């Protein structure tokens, strides 16, 4: 068996999905962020960077910048954000953010070029045009970037916060990919989540992005929002398909009001039932695949010629904290409050509040508050989960060549658990390969959970409230 060269198909089986749907990680990392430890700090991060330097690493680098501010609150949101109309707070934040960028730039000097940049939030375009230009200049002073044609430089924008001129300015500042939050085009749904965003406004931004020369336009949608119906979703999908984005991220709304206060403003009675939510998902998959989009995995769709689809066909796809990504071999440097870096065999997360973030930087330290150093078992399980999440198949012999194990012995318990998935027609297992079937692709999180050692281990800080979204 060889790497799939055809675009992967996906099959929707409501009965199996209903049976297996449960809460579980999204595996943007393994171990997942809820397993990071407080005893991992600035010193451990420095050790990880020193380890790269000692190996004279020239691996490409990926850079994430977190801008936490928003003008208004969207009730569905579970991001780490600060809602304020006082834009002076952004000026203070930028001063500290530049200080962190200076420190990271010195640490990674001469160690590799930035091939991937992503601005997330919050709302990165909360920053003014001048502030954004100044920040991009600062990044280029501290890091070496590959040329525009080779790099993937993306920014998340709220179409309500940018003009046509601003879109052209973002392109001139160095961004070549743009991601737009849409969620739903239906006025009643928008009202229910406090995000009024006329279709014409979104289309104007997309048209401007094409005119400005952005290489890829991505749209975020959410299914399971209050007031959503099959009819309203049909109309939203008509509009999305007509708008013709290069990528579409289709997220499952996770209603966790005990964790995210804004969600308490959403009435339970307005939410679609579990059965309707499944029907909404089936509708989205059917319509997007019929429109020519490739199902990448989890909640991502892309046009066949998009870099994401190409990377998957070539076996170069990976998952990181921004979801699916094309730069499998890059170390990730993350700057800003709550941002998570992945350097060498470590993950490290910055302080989650502005006060603590500023305090660490005032002390001349990187604002790392927790993290984890991966042991050999973590690294092994991470690669197994990554391969399954990204390629929907795993070469057993490639794992045995990379690690001193006999796969059937090391993962005997896991292979036994997978038999239930095999019986349901979700995976195929032979001595050389584990392959996820088209029916199993929507349940890839469930399949990967079999290999997650931490799910059966008690947490050191005791039981926690439910933090995972439903797998479907």
Is position 192 annotated in a ligand binding site? no
Q: Is 283 a member of any domain?
A: yes
Residue 102 in tokens = 């200076």
**pLDDT per residue as tens digits for the range 195-234:** 988 999 999 999 999 999 999 999 999 999 999 999 999 9
> Both 144 and 250 in a single domain?
yes
Mean pLDDT over 328-350 rounds to 92
> Both 148 and 297 in a single domain?
yes
Pick the closest to residue 121 from 77, 167, 76 (CA basis). 77
Is position 254 annotated in a ligand binding site? yes
> Both 12 and 81 in a single domain?
no
Query: Bigger pLDDT: 1 or 306?
Result: 306
Residue 472 in tokens = 């479907």
Is position 76 annotated in a ligand binding site? yes
> Both 13 and 115 in a single domain?
no
117 pLDDT band, cuts 50/70/90, is very high
- pLDDT for 463 equals 47
Mean pLDDT over 310-337 rounds to 84
Is position 105 annotated in a ligand binding site? no
> Both 235 and 322 in a single domain?
yes
- pLDDT for 460 equals 54
**22: pLDDT strictly greater than 90:** no
CATH number at residue 291: 3.80.30.20
Q: Is 41 a member of any domain?
A: yes
> Both 285 and 422 in a single domain?
no
Is position 153 annotated in a ligand binding site? no
- pLDDT for 10 equals 82
**pLDDT per residue as tens digits for the range 418-472:** 999 999 999 999 999 999 999 999 899 999 999 999 998 766 555 444 456 666 6
Is position 121 annotated in a ligand binding site? yes
Is position 122 annotated in a ligand binding site? yes
- pLDDT for 317 equals 85
Q: Is 282 a member of any domain?
A: yes
**pLDDT per residue as tens digits for the range 365-406:** 999 999 999 999 999 999 999 999 989 999 999 999 999 999
Q: Is 346 a member of any domain?
A: no
> Both 70 and 159 in a single domain?
yes
Is position 51 annotated in a ligand binding site? no
> Both 188 and 228 in a single domain?
yes
Whole-model pTM? Answer: 0.91
Mean pLDDT over 269-273 rounds to 92
Count up the domains in the chain and report the number. Answer: 2
Mean pLDDT over 188-195 rounds to 92
Is position 183 annotated in a ligand binding site? yes
**1: pLDDT strictly greater than 50:** no
Q: Which domain holds residue 406?
A: 1-29+375-454
- pLDDT for 318 equals 82
CATH number at residue 416: 1.10.10.920
Is position 430 annotated in a ligand binding site? no
Is position 30 annotated in a ligand binding site? no
Mean pLDDT over 230-245 rounds to 96
> Both 90 and 214 in a single domain?
yes
Is position 220 annotated in a ligand binding site? yes
Q: Is 150 a member of any domain?
A: yes
Is position 340 annotated in a ligand binding site? yes
Q: Is 463 a member of any domain?
A: no
- pLDDT for 2 equals 35
Phi, psi angles (nearest 5°) of residue 23: -80, 140
Task: Please state, in angstroms and rounded to a whole number, the distance separating the CA atoms of residues 271 and 274.
Answer: 9
Mean pLDDT over 96-103 rounds to 98
Q: Mark which of 285, 314, 335 sits at the end of a domain.
A: 335
Q: Calculate Rg over the CA atoms of the chain.
A: 22
Lowest mean pLDDT among 134-148, 171-185, 243-257, 346-360: 243-257
**5: pLDDT strictly greater than 50:** no
- pLDDT for 78 equals 79
Q: Is 80 a member of any domain?
A: yes
> Both 110 and 239 in a single domain?
yes
- pLDDT for 466 equals 46
Q: Is 461 a member of any domain?
A: no
**pLDDT per residue as tens digits for the range 75-96:** 888 777 888 988 899 999 999 9
**4: pLDDT strictly greater than 50:** no
How high is the mean pLDDT of the chain?
90
**pLDDT per residue as tens digits for the range 272-287:** 998 898 899 889 999 9
> Both 180 and 254 in a single domain?
yes
Is position 353 annotated in a ligand binding site? no
Is position 123 annotated in a ligand binding site? yes
> Both 154 and 46 in a single domain?
yes
**pLDDT per residue as tens digits for the range 23-69:** 788 888 899 999 999 999 999 999 999 998 888 777 889 999 999 99
**Total length of the chain:** 472
């Amino acid at each position: 068996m060889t790497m799939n060269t055809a675009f992967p198909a996906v099959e929707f089986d409501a009965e199996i999905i209903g049976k297996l749907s449960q809460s579980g990680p999204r595996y943007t990392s393994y171990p997942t962020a809820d397993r990071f430890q407080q005893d991992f700090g600035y010193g451990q991060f420095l050790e990880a960077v020193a380890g790269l330097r000692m190996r004279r690493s020239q691996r490409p680098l990926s850079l994430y910048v977190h801008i936490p501010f928003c003008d208004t609150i969207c009730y569905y949101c579970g991001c780490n954000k600060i809602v304020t109309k006082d834009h002076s707070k952004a000026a203070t934040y930028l001063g500290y953010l530049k200080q962190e960028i200076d420190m990271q730039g010195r640490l990674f000097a001469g160690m590799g070029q930035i091939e991937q940049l992503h601005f997330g939030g919050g709302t990165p375009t909360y920053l003014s045009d001048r502030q954004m230009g100044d920040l991009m200049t600062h990044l280029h002073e501290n890091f070496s970037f590959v040329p525009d044609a080779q790099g993937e430089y993306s920014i998340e924008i709220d179409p309500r916060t940018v003009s046509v001129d601003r879109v052209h300015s973002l392109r001139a500042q160095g961004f070549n990919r743009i991601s737009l939050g849409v969620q739903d085009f239906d006025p009643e749904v928008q009202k229910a989540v406090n995000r009024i965003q006329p279709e014409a406004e979104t289309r104007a931004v997309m048209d401007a992005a094409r005119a400005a020369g952005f290489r890829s336009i991505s749209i975020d949608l959410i299914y399971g929002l209050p007031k959503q119906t099959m009819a309203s979703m049909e109309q939203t999908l008509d509009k999305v398909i007509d708008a013709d984005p290069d990528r579409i991220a289709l997220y499952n709304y996770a209603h966790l009001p005990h964790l995210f206060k804004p969600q308490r403003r959403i009435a339970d009675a307005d939410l679609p039932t579990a059965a309707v939510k499944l029907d909404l998902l089936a509708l989205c998959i059917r319509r997007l695949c019929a429109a020519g989009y490739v199902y990448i995995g989890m909640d991502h769709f892309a046009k066949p010629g998009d870099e994401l689809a190409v990377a998957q066909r070539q076996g170069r796809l990976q998952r990181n904290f921004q979801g699916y990504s094309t730069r499998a071999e890059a170390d990730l440097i993350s700057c800003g409050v709550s941002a998570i870096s992945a350097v060498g065999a470590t993950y490290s997360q910055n302080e989650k509040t502005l006060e603590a973030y500023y305090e660490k930087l005032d002390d001349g330290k990187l604002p790392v508050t927790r993290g984890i150093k991966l042991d050999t078992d973590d690294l092994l399980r991470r690669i197994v989960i990554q391969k399954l999440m990204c390629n929907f198949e795993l070469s057993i012999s490639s794992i045995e060549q990379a690690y001193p194990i006999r796969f059937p012995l090391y993962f005997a318990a896991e292979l036994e658990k997978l038999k239930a998935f095999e019986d349901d027609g979700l995976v195929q297992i032979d001595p050389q390969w584990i392959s996820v079937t088209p029916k199993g692709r929507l349940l890839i999180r469930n399949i990967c959970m079999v290999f997650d050692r931490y799910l059966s281990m008690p947490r050191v800080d005791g039981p926690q409230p439910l933090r995972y979204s439903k797998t479907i």
